A = this chain, B = another copy of it.
Amino acid sequence: MTVIYKKVALIGLGLIAGSIAHAIRRAGLAETISGYARSAETRDIAREIGLCDVVCDTAAEAVKDADLVILAVPVGAMATVAQEIGPHLKAGATLSDVGSVKASVIKNVAPFVPEGVHFIPAHPLAGTEHSGPRSGFAELFDNRWCILVPVEDSDNNALVDLRKFWEALGANVEIMDAQHHDLVLAVTSHAPHLIAYTMVGVADDLRRVTDKEVINFSAAGFRDFTRIAASDPTMWRDVFLNNKEATLEILGRFTEELFDLQRAIRGGDGDYLHNYFTRTRAIRRGIIDAGQDTDAPNFGRDLTKES
């Protein structure tokens, strides 16, 4: 593998940055990886497990001389970090991020990007319900999509390099504009997450059904929701606050549709329900055919072990 960026700086050392570090090493894409996290505890863990070549105590120090800087902090923290590192970015460097929302990140980060630095926002569509510096792994991006969202004056060579970098991390790359990205993600990720959080919250509130029952008898459906609803609270708070319009629009449509289905249940309209459920089955098939999920029953998870 060829080194694409001599020095890569990772700001934020959670699941995504950790996985980037592992995947950079797997492919030999950089000579040095520097890292910074706001929390001293996270920095200590990162040092202990050797997540980066060097873990710095300030973001400014971490980005010094870096050819690629990746902001891997919650979307709500992007502006602060950008302001902090802006003056320390090397001329000709590429500044990117991994935020789940793109329009707000562009709005909040772009003002702090100095002349001569290439700002190319990005969003790898990969993650798990785990978080923190120990949760990353090199395979996280394999065969997943990474969406690059160039801004108006993004340099083409810098874009080509960043695409090569993400492909070498294992991802498929797609280019999209920020507005469209935020709508697509509202449908495929943000609204579903809010819905999952809501359903798990409802179950938690229900006093007639005890907690133990909710937990024991969560075999179907709910159990999958709890995985989604176990995702990092800070990250998701920021996603919703920063992709407000698109998320609320999709949730509005969702509620309308849910009311239709509730009416069908109340009125006993079995044909309506059956047709609806048949249609949704086809989408699943498409996702499996596109290699974006496994066809193994229950995701192939292993639950046969005694607890």
Contact = CB atoms under 8 A, between A and B. Distances in A.
Interface in A191-208: 191-206, 208
B244 A266 contact: yes
A49 interface: no
A221 B274 contact: no
Nearest to A293: B223
Contact of A229 (B130, B135, B219, B277): B277
A305 B291 contact: yes
Nearest to A191: B199
State the majority secondary structure of interface residues on A: helix
A284 B226 contact: yes
Interface stretch (A27-35, A105-113, A138-146): A138-146
A304 B202 contact: no
Contact of A188 (B195, B201, B217, B300): B217
Contacts of A248: 262, 265-266
A84 interface: no
Nearest to A268: B241
Interface string A236-262: 111011001001101101110110011
A192 B199 CA distance: 7
Given A201-B257, A216-B292, 20 more contacts: A125-B217, A142-B303, A143-B305, A144-B219, A144-B303, A174-B217, A195-B195, A200-B284, A202-B257, A215-B286, A215-B287, A223-B292, A226-B287, A229-B281, A236-B273, A237-B274, A247-B265, A251-B262, A289-B307, A296-B301
Given A184-B209, A236-B273, A297-B128, A201 B279 contact: yes
Given A201-B280, A277-B197, A216 B145 contact: yes
A48 interface: no
Interface string A160-200: 00000000000000100000000111011111111111111
B219 A188 contact: yes
25 contacts: A129-B284, A129-B297, A188-B203, A188-B218, A188-B223, A191-B202, A192-B199, A192-B220, A192-B225, A197-B276, A198-B258, A201-B276, A201-B280, A202-B250, A203-B283, A216-B292, A224-B227, A227-B284, A233-B274, A236-B277, A237-B270, A248-B265, A251-B258, A300-B302, A301-B301
A283 B241 contact: no
A228 interface: yes
A185 to B, nearest CB: 7
